[in-house]
Amino acid sequence: EAEQGFRPLDEASLVAYIKTTPALASRLGGGSLDSLEIKEVGDGNVNFVYIVRSEAGAIVVKQALPYVRSVGDSWPMTRERVYFEASTLREHGRLCPEHTPEVYHLDRAMSLMAMRYIEPPHIILRKGFIAGVEYPLLADHMSDYMAKTLFFTSLLYNNTTDHKKGVAKYSANVEMCRLTEQFVFSDPYRVSKFNRWTSPYLDKDAEAVREDEELKLEAAELKSLFMERAQALIHGDLHTASIMVTTGSTQIIDSEFGFYGPMGYDIGAFLGNLILAYYAQNGHADQANDRKAYKKWILKTIEESWNLFQKKFVELWNKHKEGNGEAYLPDIYNNSKLLSVAQKKYMTNLFHDSLGFGSAKMIRRIVGIAHVEDLESIKDASRRAECERAALNCAKTILKGRRQFETIEQVIVHIQSFD
Ligand code: ADP
Ligand code: MG
Ligand code: MG
């Protein structure tokens, strides 16, 4: 990819860029744009995110530099991630506009995109969980987003030629996939300078993860599944800091890891992060709020997210069963008994994949490189370690025993048994 045309922007040069880019200038009301207000808000570890305001409106601009922001130039990373983020967001936006911000502009040479500003009172979902806020529509919205984006980019809806075209396009997002391969599926299971955990409390627990052969075999199988199974165009980083919410709205951002991968990776990311939020609650409980009711709400949200997803996904399948999808051709499978057997099998496998990926994502957040604010914000290290140990033990048993679960209700009982 050409270095030509790339310049890292700052607040001042971004103003000049916007003025000479009609697609952006018009979103801000056109005119002289002399009083643009720019704020860099990238709390993420990776990229630069600016909120740009004029009297007429606001937009968000995101730019990738050729390295990981929080580390610096010692950690190079392709700027092409912005192209994949904008492409995934556009495709998911076409399929589920209710829960994705519109992409206004992509400048691939500049590794820069602009999108709708998700206005306050939207906050990052993880922060809502830490504050103990209930989001009554979250399960409904997330199941909608996942059912639509996953179903409509799969072979249940598309023919194999179109599907392969998509796979080919996104298979170039190889560097981002490699991060996942290393940090989710490899490093937690070996000694790595990137790993960290709440020491000394969890020293033995981290060592036990590295020495658990059964666990390592499962992790390796999931890694292969992640790399080999081009099932649908997944978001690839669907944790609770990639979701912005109010009590009435849910918006999914930050799809730079997008590629054709296993559906269960997205579903598991979301469910696994809900389970982490659940185990973090004991660390946030205080005299004013014991968080018991809130923990119940999280469990109910886990249950509803899967059950609603499954219902909506199968509904889409039934609705489009005579369409172009080439996985289950209607002249072979349009027999209601056979179709329902096929659907039951598909959903059972997807459930087990989701539990596997979800628990692998929990484990890596406790003994791997990147942790979650839900747990990190528990100041007292021994109290935090207790929450983390419960989450870790729960995740290990789910990862190893995931094929024994038949319903999400059974998983909920299992989660509570480690609390
Ligand atoms: P990174 O890839 O570096 O993690 P994110 O896409 O997660 O970047 O964005 C970082 C932060 O910027 C988010 O946590 C959020 O607070 C803010 N942000 C990103 N996109 C938007 C948007 N469209 N509207 C409002 N805020 C946003
Ligand atoms: Mg992010
Ligand atoms: Mg990101």
**Is any atom of ligand 1 closer than 6 Å to the C-beta of 60?**
yes
Ligand nearest to the CA of 253: 1
Read off the pLDDT of each residue in 254-278 and give the average, rounded to a whole number: 98
**Is any atom of ligand 1 closer than 6 Å to the C-beta of 253?**
yes
DSSP alpha helix (H) spans, 49-188: 81-95, 125-131, 138-152, 160-170, 174-180
For residue 2, pLDDT beyond 60: no
**Is any atom of ligand 1 closer than 6 Å to the C-beta of 49?**
yes
Q: What is the pLDDT of residues 289-308, one digit of tens each?
A: 999 999 999 999 999 999 99
SS3 322: coil
Read off the pLDDT of each residue in 28-43 and give the average, rounded to a whole number: 87
Q: How confident is the model at residue 46 (pLDDT cuts 50, 70, 90)?
A: confident
Q: What is the pLDDT of residues 318-331, one digit of tens each?
A: 999 999 999 999 99
SS3 105: strand
For residue 71, pLDDT beyond 80: no
In this structure, of 33-47, 274-288, 354-368, the range with the lowest mean pLDDT score is 33-47
| pLDDT the model gives residue 3 | 61
For residue 413, pLDDT beyond 50: yes
Structure ipTM over 0.85, yes or no: yes
Q: How far is the CA of 88 from the centre of ligand 2 (A)?
A: 15
Q: Whats the size of the chain, residue-wise?
A: 419
**Is any atom of ligand 1 closer than 6 Å to the C-beta of 118?**
yes
* Long-range contact set of residues 373-381: C-beta below 8 Å, sequence gap at least 24: 373/126, 373/127, 373/130, 373/241, 374/126, 374/129, 374/130, 374/240, 374/276, 374/277, 374/280, 375/276, 375/279, 375/280, 375/283, 377/130, 377/280, 377/284, 378/280, 378/283, 378/284, 380/283, 381/198, 381/201
Residue indicated by tokens 């989710």: 184
Q: What is the pLDDT of residues 89-129, one digit of tens each?
A: 999 999 999 999 999 999 999 999 999 999 999 999 999 99
**Is any atom of ligand 1 closer than 6 Å to the C-beta of 56?**
no
* Residue of 102, 104, 117, 254 to mutate, ligand 1, most atoms within 8 A of C-beta: 254
Nearest CA to ligand 1 atom 26: 118
Q: How confident is the model at residue 44 (pLDDT cuts 50, 70, 90)?
A: low
Q: How confident is the model at residue 84 (pLDDT cuts 50, 70, 90)?
A: very high
**Is any atom of ligand 1 closer than 6 Å to the C-beta of 24?**
no
| Average pLDDT of the chain, as a whole number | 96
Q: How far is the CA of 60 from the centre of ligand 1 (A)?
A: 8
Q: What is the pLDDT of residues 6-26, one digit of tens each?
A: 999 999 999 999 999 999 999
Q: What residues contact residue 272 under an 8 Å CB cut-off, 6+ apart?
A: 239, 357, 358, 359, 360, 361, 362, 395
Do the Cβ atoms of 336 and 170 come closer than 8 Å? no
Q: How far is the CA of 44 from the centre of ligand 2 (A)?
A: 5
Q: What is the pLDDT of residues 175-225, one digit of tens each?
A: 999 999 999 999 999 999 999 999 999 999 999 999 999 999 999 999 999
SS3 content of the chain, % helix, strand, coil (to 5): 55, 10, 35
